[in-house]
Chain A
Amino acid sequence: MAVVAWTPFVLYAAAASAYFVHFGRRDRAAGRLATALLGSGVLAHTFLIGMQTVAAGHAPLVGTTAALSAFVWLLGLVYLYVELTTDERAMGLFVSVLLTALAVLPALHPGVEPRPPLLRSPLFTVHVAAILFAYASFALACVLGITYVLLFKEIKRKHLGYFYARLPSLQTLDAMNGRAVTIGWLFLTLGVVIGGIWATQIDSSPDPRAQAMSVGDPKIMIALVCWGMYTFALFARRAIGWSGRRAAWLSALAFVIVLLNFLPVGYFLTRSHNF
């Protein structure tokens, strides 16, 4: 099991190195290799999650580590889709580094948590899957935002160099960022609404965690803050023309909060989501 658990991480790391060479030297062959490695990583990860599902009899979404693993898998999948449809590999380095970093924890703890009775609802699976998909979209938006700012600064300072030669146009980065935020917002909304419905269903459960399901819980509160930020980002882009640099900063900042909510809050602070 240990070997299978580490395989996605190793492949993500290999893909990150290949993307690094591709980005640094603009070597097309390295780029193709990177895509192939990332594809194999996602495939190995699919296999791992499939094995865990078969072994446990349910989707491995219980607990922050398992959710992290599913998030990494989804981000890999979403990014591959974007790369293959746009034929643009410049973002690969940033995404694969993020994937590699986040894949460490799941690789260290590959076991599947038993599913407490509380979570035996299809609503739970949809809730977690929708939110993780939203997070994957936001991660992509964050990477796009960061690269937008890097390129923006080079052009503004009239010092055309490293990123100028490697990144697509500001317009492309901005449009992709907008799309990623929109898709992420839709899934986050879906996930939050379903989570709310589910919370009312388990209201009578004796589980202390069910009792802690309230807006006062840090995890739920910060998730709603995130929803508010992305709602604002969408609104600002459409209604008051906050595209470009402002939208880029906003999506980068919002994702930092998403990540904080996902990891430290998920592991240490929440009393409602500590499965």
Chain B
Amino acid sequence: MAVKQKYVGMTGNEAVANAMKQIDPDVIAAYPITPQTDIVQYYSQFVADGEVATEMVTVESEHSAMSATIGASSAGARAMTATSSQGLALMWEMLHIAAGDRLPIVMPVVNRALSAPINIHCDHSDTMGSLTTGWIQIYGENAQEAYDNMIQAVRIAEDPRVLLPVMVCYDGFITSHAVDNLELIPTEAVKEFVGTYKPQRPLLNVEDPITVGALVLPDYYTEMRVQEAEAMGRANDVILEVAREFERLSGRKYGFFEEYRMDDAERVIVVMSSTAGTTKAVVDQLRAKGEKVGLLKPRVMRPFPAEELVKALSGAKAVAVMDRAETFSTQGGQIFTELRSAFYNSGTRPLMRGYIFGLGGRDTTTREIRKVFADLSDDLSKGRAGRFVGYLDVRV
């Protein structure tokens, strides 16, 4: 029986700040960057008003933010930070350190395009550029999901089988700054769900002194990396376990991805975050006309749930994978590439084509989504993907 929740109207950032408030981490070390800034603004107000016990450290850059968060987490604190785009890029070396040191840091990343050119609007190039850091990545469609993912992320990160940091990603401006409806879980229930952080070997324990982040030579580096990779593998089960427990608490169901009207879908769009919401509206429109279309909305990008995705999509005849970031591989977007790879050994494969869309906050409306479904119809009639990869909306 789900707990009674409070129905509110909040922006994504405010919802995430509230999730953090309910979790009440020991330390937050953060630096502002659009469109993350108001998470930290709201949180600073909570600290100033004495509503949380968090030690807030205002650092001079995102590199320092992650460094301070790593230090706090190593010391034994439940530590968080938040960032976007260039901020994530600036802390790039520290991201690897957080994961390599096996620290359960949770960090909201408000997806914003990377420079150059400078752009403050939404695309996924920031977090797509951090896929190999060892961080778990979970993407949310709207304010509710961003809020829910924050709470689950703490349990996923701190699970002794995992002990890896988690990025909770959601769209800049679209989700972060638009007022949305969501349900807030009561604070006591959130605290009970996340529990108290029990660090295994905190630096601050002088009875059991340790060194964190030492040098490793060629004879041991591989073993350490493999240990980390296996933890990422174990995260699969933990993500689903936490989601099941969260469903009992909130009544909302989560998994590796969401399947929307996929049962007998022949043409499927695979797309993450807010654009999935737009796609749902188009799926409903087309389904009303009898068209067999569906949406698969990836939620977990790291670890990549290849097996489950193949299973979910094997009934489809034509799939369009929409990526909101360029990889410069010349072979398409990240999700497209990884999904194709997942299908390599499959007997039946749907036709698959890739789109790169929404870069730098380019608006993606129901019109563009309808065009994708129409392209898929075209592919089906021709028996092959008409185009390998392309840009959804570009002026030539």
B is bound to A: no
What residues of chain B have their CB less than 8 Å away from a CB belonging to chain A?
none
What residues of chain A have their CB less than 8 Å away from a CB belonging to chain B?
none
